[in-house]
Amino acid sequence: MRDMEFTVTEASFLVDRSPADIQNAVDKKVVKSTVVKTGSRAKRLLGKAELRFLTMDREIGEALSGAGKRRLYEELSRLPQTATTARVGAIAVDLRKSDAKLRKRLRLLETIRGAMKMKGEEPFIKGTDVPAYQVAALYPAASIEEILEDFPSLKRSQVEHAIDFARAYPKKGRPYPSKSLKRGISDLIRSGVFDDD
């Protein structure tokens, strides 16, 4: 994994936990974050040690006490990037499985970013005129199969990438509707709103 820092929502995507879990871990000082000011806003960034710990924390569950988890995090913060084992007293924690998961998720994050083309501040699914957030807003109210019916020009992977992109980079401002125009009109017709009676 590259030596990088990630926003809370990127970290959430990479370790497959909710943004609230990540914010909570930072707020409770379970992990540290770097705070970067962008204009009037502050952004929290997390590095490799934090991602490793947040992945391990879920895997080890209650096996370590709170003090043990703090010691594990401190150890992960000191370890070189190539280390495959972390030691907490007499306990050795194998990092290979969690590091492999993180590398896989990082590759997926790079793939979904590459599958988008920015037009201003709006991400579009590359090779289309379809806004990624518009597609992502339909899920999970609509299944991926239903979204593909509404957008027949899209491939399944494009829909999945749009959903993942919106998770890692949530839309700012007013959200798109959770129902497509096509499905909304179809529902109205089925409900009898357009009946002549």
| pLDDT tens, the chain, 197 aa long | 445 899 999 999 999 999 999 999 999 888 999 999 988 888 999 999 999 999 988 778 778 888 888 899 999 999 998 999 999 888 888 999 999 999 999 999 999 999 999 999 899 999 999 999 999 999 999 999 999 999 999 999 999 999 999 999 999 988 888 887 777 777 777 777 666 55
Tokens at 65, concatenated: 């006490």
Q: Between the CA of residue 153 and those of 125, 143, 157, what are the distances in Å?
A: 11, 16, 12
User: Of 16, 1, 47, 2, which is closest to residue 168 (Cα–Cα)?
Assistant: 16
% helix, strand, coil for the chain, step of 5: 50, 15, 35
The residues, any chain, with a CB within 8 Å of residue 75's CB and separated by 6 or more, are 86, 87, 88
Can you give the pLDDT at residue 2?
A: 45
Can you give the pLDDT at residue 1?
A: 45
Q: Count other Cβ atoms within 10 Å, centred on residue 188.
A: 11
Can you give the pLDDT at residue 134?
A: 95
Can you give the pLDDT at residue 197?
A: 53
**What is the side-by-side order of every strand in the sheet holding 6-7?**
6-7, 41-46, 34-38
Q: Are residues 162 and 135 in contact, defined by beta-carbon separation less than 8 angstroms?
A: yes
Q: Is 84 exposed, middle or buried (0-12, 13-18, 19+ CB in 10 A)?
A: exposed
Q: Between the CA of residue 181 and those of 45, 92, 150, 185, what are the distances in Å?
A: 38, 55, 9, 6
Can you give the pLDDT at residue 175?
A: 86
